[in-house]
Amino acid sequence: MKKIIFLVILIIFSLITLYYYKPVTIDYLFGITRTLKQENGYQLDINNKRYDNCVFKSTESFDKKRKHNFLILYLRDLNIKSDFKIIVVNLDDKVVGYFCGSDKCYDKVFGTLFQSDMGSFYTPLEDDAKGPGFDTKLKMESKKIDFYIPSERNESLHIQLSKK
């Protein structure tokens, strides 16, 4: 009996710790978060410096009725000077956007990116009304995606995605 009580207490403590450290993983258990797998078919370069394990693919929205084709760039763990840590590249509409919600809507755990239901929304960078009105100079070719995002120093960060 003591072992069962100890095990229950250990599980409850583990869940509380997990919620405190990585809250989006607990939301996954309740179905309001999904996992995005890493997209290994693209190589990411920012200002001619290569970064690995940052590109993820999203093909299904939360309402399950509509499909989309997004690349999610998870830049939070990188040492880059930009206010935009989650970049969304909508391959269907040819738009670059940023996630503008809470930091808790995205989190990376053991190489898997967790995205909450609110994390599936984005604002285009070129939108003057809701976004910063920044010209991304987006160019999409068959094997290359090239665009810019604003940095903290009123400069632009050059982002290149190349198919491997």
Instruction: Please indicate, yes or no, if residue 28 is contained in any of the structural domains.
Output: no
Tell me the backbone φ, ψ of residue 9, rounded to 5 degrees: -65, -40
Q: Could you tell me if residue 7 is inside a domain? A: no
Tally the domains of the chain.
1
Q: What is the pLDDT of residue 66?
A: 62
Q: How confident is the model at residue 64 (pLDDT cuts 50, 70, 90)?
A: low
Q: Is residue 59 part of a domain?
A: yes
Residue 94 lies in a domain: yes
- Residue 4 maps to a domain: no
pTM, rounded to two decimals:
0.80
Q: What is the torsion angle, in degrees rounded to the nearest 10, for the CA atoms of residue 14, residue 15, residue 20 and residue 26?
A: 140
160 vs 132: which has the higher pLDDT:
160
Mean pLDDT of 9-33: 78
Instruction: State pLDDT tens for residues 36-48.
Output: 888 888 899 999 9
What is the span of the domain harbouring residue 117? 33-163
User: What is the residue-averaged pLDDT of the chain?
Assistant: 83
- Asked if residue 109 belongs to a domain, the reply is yes
- 161 strand-pairing partners: 44, 145
Q: Does residue 41 form part of some domain?
A: yes
Give the integer Cα–Cα distance in Å for 25 and 19: 7
The answer to the question of residue 19 being in a domain is no
| Mean pLDDT in residue range 4-23 | 84
